[in-house]
């Protein structure tokens, strides 16, 4: 069960979670997705919300539907790599925007990242 943020539409939160699961390998290329009904029950959300999630992700070529068989994750490793890069860029944009809002310069941000990297060596 997902915890939902009331400030962001549920369908966008589900899309982001599914994208994350795809780029991290939790969901595999070509893997069959749960039906809209199954996923709506699992997440405790409206069936139409899941249908919208699948429709949006199909439009982005992340999912595809085989008539009568179900919805599947793209088999294109290139598309998954591109998705991963898009998500990384969004993380960086959000980081930079947030840091600027609290007064950090580009140099400050670089120094901050270097300091954190050296402190935890987790990056």
Q: Looking at residue 5, what is its pLDDT?
A: 85
Q: If you average pLDDT over residues 98-105, what whole number do you get?
A: 95
Q: How many CB atoms lie within 10 A of CB 92?
A: 10
Read off the pLDDT band of 121 (50, 70, 90).
low
Residue with tokens 């595809």, as numbered in its chain: 64
pTM above 0.85, yes or no: no
Burial 4-22 (b: 16+ CB within 10 A, else e): eeeeeebbebbbeebbeeb
Q: Looking at residue 52, what is its pLDDT?
A: 97
Q: How many CB atoms lie within 10 A of CB 116?
A: 12
Read off the pLDDT band of 120 (50, 70, 90).
low
Rounded Cα gap, residues 5 and 114, in angstroms = 31
What number does CATH give the domain 10-75?
1.10.10.10
Give residue limits of the domains in the chain. Answer: 10-75, 78-120
8 Å CB contact between 123 and 114: no
pLDDT tens digits along 39-90: 999 999 999 999 999 999 999 999 999 999 999 999 999 999 999 999 999 9
Q: If you average pLDDT over residues 34-43, what whole number do you get?
A: 95
């Amino acid at each position: 069960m997902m915890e939902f943020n009331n400030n962001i539409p549920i369908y966008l939160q589900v899309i982001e979670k599914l994208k994350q699961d795809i780029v991290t390998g939790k969901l595999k290329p070509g893997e069959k997705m749960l039906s809209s009904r199954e996923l709506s029950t699992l997440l405790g959300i409206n069936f139409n919300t899941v249908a919208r999630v699948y429709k949006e992700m199909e439009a982005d070529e992340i999912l595809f539907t085989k008539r009568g068989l179900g919805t599947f994750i793209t088999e294109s490793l290139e598309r998954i790599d591109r998705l991963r890069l898009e998500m990384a860029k969004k993380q960086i944009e959000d980081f930079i925007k947030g840091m600027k809002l609290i007064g950090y310069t580009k140099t400050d941000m670089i120094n901050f990242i270097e300091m954190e990297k050296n402190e935890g060596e987790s990056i």
